[in-house]
A and B are shown apart, each in its own frame.
Chain A
Amino acid sequence: MSTYRRLRAGATALTLATLLLGSAACGGTTRENSGTDSGAGAQASGAANPDAKLKEGLKIAFLPKQVNNPYFTTSDNGGKDAVTEIKGEFKEVGPSEASASSQVSYINTLSQQGMDVIVTSANDPNAICGALNQAKAAGAKIVTFDSDTKPECRQIFVNQVTAEGIAESQVKLISQQIGGEGEIAILSATANATNQNAWIALMKEELKKPEYSKIKLVTVAYGNDDDQKSFQETQGLLQSYPNLKGIISPTTVGVAAAARYLSGSQYKGKVKLTGLGTPNQMREYVKDGTVDAFALWNPADLGYLAAYAGAALASGQITGAEGDKFTAGKLGEFAVGKDGVVVLGPPTVFDKNNIDQFQF
């Protein structure tokens, strides 16, 4: 009878309630009048004391994008080495799936536990900002690595390489391999991965240079950092673009999947592949001739550097202001650049000749 009518009334009421709640908040917020809060505020508060010694017993927590990712396991282990060197307490926590919302809950937990330093790789540049700011307010130093947040949410971002550096080296590698002309495609990770998109944008810029004028980027495919999906996408690329000469896959999952596909297909050696991959994953394909050369920074070094940066922050050696300098154990001295960015260095290029020297 009218049971449903009541429910319908309920639904209407719910809508009305939202309307009221919404309009009660304030009158008509639009994108135009809201004015995006630009993160101009660099945060370097207080003065750095370059001579301060690194404190012992610092509680340093690593919060990767997800805990089940071998890449992050490697870099967190680098961080662990560093923390051991400076006699701190190391901890690695993180969600089992790469989602920003669960990272927020972990950040809250860490700040609740009174961590001195939180080293994190952001699943979303904005979503975890609020939580990071709260943690910062509670006294924790925030270092991001691999994937950054908005600059105002952290003190230091440890960048594996500059985005420009990646774009340059990737384009250069593929150009060398395909002989400077032909169609190429990019196989990326997820479509909203911050760093991937930044690199891809820069690669497109790079390709506009005259020396690459004969190279045509035909498409960007997304393998979602999922092995099977990347595999299928590679398949799709080769079928859709018969004239494809090369693929750049600036993600470790993607490049390995693509290499495996190529090595088992008729395109092996004919379609060139380069990208960012780990030597362990790629060793086989470099040796069997599928891949000539690829690049990567050392993820362990990345974590190592991030841990040192965090310790330096917590000890007052640096504040994250441009020009601050600190020493990161075996890696030597680093300087903080603009927006609190510390760059690990140019990527290493791996090929048949040097790959056996690396184990990670």
Chain B
Amino acid sequence: MSLTDTGASVQAADNPPPGPGRARRGLTERLLAVRELSLLIALAALILVTTLRNDRFLSGQSIKDLLLGCAILVILAVGQTLVIVTRNVDLSVGSILGLVAFATGELFLAAPGTPWPLALLLGVALGAVCGVVNGGLIAVAKVPALVITLGTLYAFRGVDYYWAAGRQINAADMPRSFLRLGNQTVLGVPVLFLVALIVVAAVGFYLRSYRSGRELYAIGSEPAAARLSGIPVGRRVFAVFVANGALAGLAGVLYAARFGTLDAAAGTGLELQVVAAAVVGGVAIFGGSGSAYGAALGAVLLTTIGSSLAVLRIDPFWQQAVVGALILAAIGLDRLLALRMAARLRGRSAHGA
């Protein structure tokens, strides 16, 4: 799309002095903030409308349910952000989550006395191993992530099915302390949501303020240039997939704690929602921009839509259609904003002459 971007360049010496430049500082960041703000507004509007129809939607119980409901999607969306920012995508997260969730159940079956922090660690490690498979195949074979993770989406799920062999693990098989993790609240806020918050904050902070975090954006923005500027692209992309796998593993353990009933189908089709959440949250599907906070907000918005459809008694069949429409709307909006911005920047260049 760079066909027109090369237009009217300016002699550098004639550029405007940096006085007004200061005012336009951080245009990208401001645009991102705008995105996050508009998400918040959309969220508020949605809650308002739903509450007007049914005032129970804002009751303590309902808010708790909402926070509980979005926690897992938030974690997955944040992990996906890491991947998408580097111009990749991981479609296997749903399968990783399912595999880890079942593995956690199996662990408690096999060793009932396992303390839950250990189970948590093991789950994260298993997720990371899946990430290693993804990242390894992508880095070694130099094949697009989309195809590889489409393949591992099948493969991980197949392993999960194979292992489970039609069995189901019930809440009774898991220790109470572990299940409490899924429902407990601290000052009225579910523990699960707190975990998600920590993940969001950590990843968001990392992406914004650390060199390697910024390098992820560089990779997604222009892979060839990233390589030439000495960024270890292969290693970073590999690490990103491992990190995303680990987060999916974390989500898997939390899934087990929250739902208690586990079979091999846990998390089937979740990848669509995850990608949707990230994209709705302003993570550009072609890499290079977006934030963990936005993705998290996207996940909250999606979950809220799900809940409010149920509360508004809108035909549940509409829900999937709404998710699809939202993805389209989000990427369309992004495109519009990008075009606007390009036009503004070009305009500015021209004025400078």
Q: Per the CB under 8 Å rule, do A and B touch in the complex?
A: yes
Interface residue ranges, A against B (CB under 8 Å): 67-70, 72-73, 96-97, 191, 219, 221-222, 226-228, 231-233, 235-240, 242, 253, 256-257, 260, 264-267, 280-281, 283-284
A-B contact count (CB 8 A): 90
Which residues of B from 194 to 229 have beta carbons under 8 Å from A?
Answer: none
A239 touches B56 (CB 8 A): yes
Q: A222-B316, A235-B65, A280-B170 are in contact. Are A68 and B263 (CB under 8 A)?
A: yes
B261 touches A256 (CB 8 A): yes
A239 touches B57 (CB 8 A): yes
B307 touches A235 (CB 8 A): yes
Chain A residues, Cβ within 8 Å of B172: 280, 283-284
A244 to B311 Cα, complex, angstroms = 13
With both chains docked as a complex, state the minimum distance between the C-beta of A79 and any C-beta of chain B, in angstroms. 13
Q: A227-B261, A260-B259 are in contact. Are A96 and B161 (CB under 8 A)?
A: yes
Q: Can you give 23 A-B contacts (C-beta < 8 A)? A: A68-B166, A68-B263, A68-B264, A70-B166, A70-B168, A73-B165, A96-B158, A96-B161, A191-B316, A226-B265, A228-B259, A233-B316, A235-B310, A236-B307, A236-B309, A239-B57, A240-B56, A240-B310, A242-B56, A265-B61, A280-B170, A280-B172, A283-B172
Which residues of B from 255 to 270 have beta carbons under 8 Å from A?
Answer: 259-261, 263-266, 268
Q: Is B107 on the interface with A (CB-CB < 8 A)?
A: no
Chain B residues, Cβ within 8 Å of A69: 166, 263
A232 touches B313 (CB 8 A): no
Chain B residues, Cβ within 8 Å of A260: 171, 259-261
Q: Is B349 on the interface with A (CB-CB < 8 A)?
A: no
Q: Which of A96, A239, A257 contacts B261 (CB 8 A)?
A: A257
With both chains docked as a complex, state the minimum distance between the C-beta of A246 and any C-beta of chain B, in angstroms. 18
Which residues of B from 37 to 93 have beta carbons under 8 Å from A?
Answer: 54, 56-57, 59, 61-62, 65, 69
Chain B residues, Cβ within 8 Å of A257: 259, 261
A232 touches B306 (CB 8 A): yes
A239 touches B266 (CB 8 A): no
B307 touches A240 (CB 8 A): no
A242 to B165 Cα, complex, angstroms = 41
Chain A residues, Cβ within 8 Å of B61: 265-267
Name which of A235, A266, A280 has the most chain B CB atoms within 10 A of its CB: A235
A219 touches B313 (CB 8 A): yes
B161 touches A68 (CB 8 A): yes
Q: Is B164 on the interface with A (CB-CB < 8 A)?
A: yes
Secondary structure at the A interface, as helix, strand, loop or mixed, is helix
A348 to B62 Cα, complex, angstroms = 35
Q: A227-B266, A281-B170 are in contact. Are A240 and B259 (CB under 8 A)?
A: no
Q: A68-B264, A227-B259 are in contact. Are A239 and B166 (CB under 8 A)?
A: no
Chain B residues, Cβ within 8 Å of A280: 170, 172
Residue of A nearest to B310 (CB): A236
Chain B residues, Cβ within 8 Å of A267: 61
A223 to B289 Cα, complex, angstroms = 36
A232 touches B307 (CB 8 A): yes
Which residues of B from 7 to 32 have beta carbons under 8 Å from A?
Answer: none
B316 touches A221 (CB 8 A): yes
Q: Which of A96, A219, A239, A284 contacts B54 (CB 8 A)?
A: A239
B310 touches A67 (CB 8 A): no
With both chains docked as a complex, state the minimum distance between the C-beta of B154 and any C-beta of chain A, in angstroms. 10
Chain B residues, Cβ within 8 Å of A233: 310, 316
Which residues of B from 140 to 179 have beta carbons under 8 Å from A?
Answer: 158, 161, 164-168, 170-172
B313 touches A240 (CB 8 A): yes
B263 touches A70 (CB 8 A): yes
With both chains docked as a complex, state the minimum distance between the C-beta of A334 and any C-beta of chain B, in angstroms. 27
A264 touches B166 (CB 8 A): no
A256 to B168 Cα, complex, angstroms = 12
Given contacts A68-B161, A227-B266, 13 further A-B contacts (CB under 8 A): A67-B161, A70-B168, A70-B263, A228-B259, A232-B306, A232-B310, A239-B307, A240-B56, A260-B171, A260-B259, A260-B261, A280-B170, A280-B172
Which residues of B from 278 to 325 have beta carbons under 8 Å from A?
Answer: 306-307, 309-313, 316-317
Chain B residues, Cβ within 8 Å of A70: 166-168, 263
Chain B residues, Cβ within 8 Å of A227: 259, 261, 266
Chain A residues, Cβ within 8 Å of B317: 191
A9 to B118 Cα, complex, angstroms = 64
Residue of A nearest to B160 (CB): A68
A164 to B264 Cα, complex, angstroms = 33
A221 to B313 Cα, complex, angstroms = 9
Residue of A nearest to B259 (CB): A227
A172 to B129 Cα, complex, angstroms = 51
A87 to B3 Cα, complex, angstroms = 75
Chain A residues, Cβ within 8 Å of B59: 239
Chain A residues, Cβ within 8 Å of B306: 232
A205 to B183 Cα, complex, angstroms = 38
Residue of A nearest to B185 (CB): A264
Name which of A221, A239, A256 has the most chain B CB atoms within 10 A of its CB: A239
A232 touches B69 (CB 8 A): yes
A32 to B312 Cα, complex, angstroms = 38
B311 touches A236 (CB 8 A): yes
A317 to B247 Cα, complex, angstroms = 59
B265 touches A68 (CB 8 A): yes
Residue of B nearest to A267 (CB): B61
Residue of A nearest to B182 (CB): A264
A221 touches B183 (CB 8 A): no
A4 to B158 Cα, complex, angstroms = 42
Chain B residues, Cβ within 8 Å of A281: 168, 170-171, 261
Chain A residues, Cβ within 8 Å of B166: 67-70, 72-73
A253 to B170 Cα, complex, angstroms = 11
A231 touches B259 (CB 8 A): yes
With both chains docked as a complex, state the minimum distance between the C-beta of B170 and any C-beta of chain A, in angstroms. 5
With both chains docked as a complex, state the minimum distance between the C-beta of B248 and any C-beta of chain A, in angstroms. 16
B307 touches A68 (CB 8 A): no
A238 to B168 Cα, complex, angstroms = 27
A182 to B153 Cα, complex, angstroms = 46
With both chains docked as a complex, state the minimum distance between the C-beta of B278 and any C-beta of chain A, in angstroms. 19
Residue of B nearest to A92 (CB): B166
A256 to B169 Cα, complex, angstroms = 12
With both chains docked as a complex, state the minimum distance between the C-beta of A261 and any C-beta of chain B, in angstroms. 8
Chain B residues, Cβ within 8 Å of A240: 54, 56, 310-313
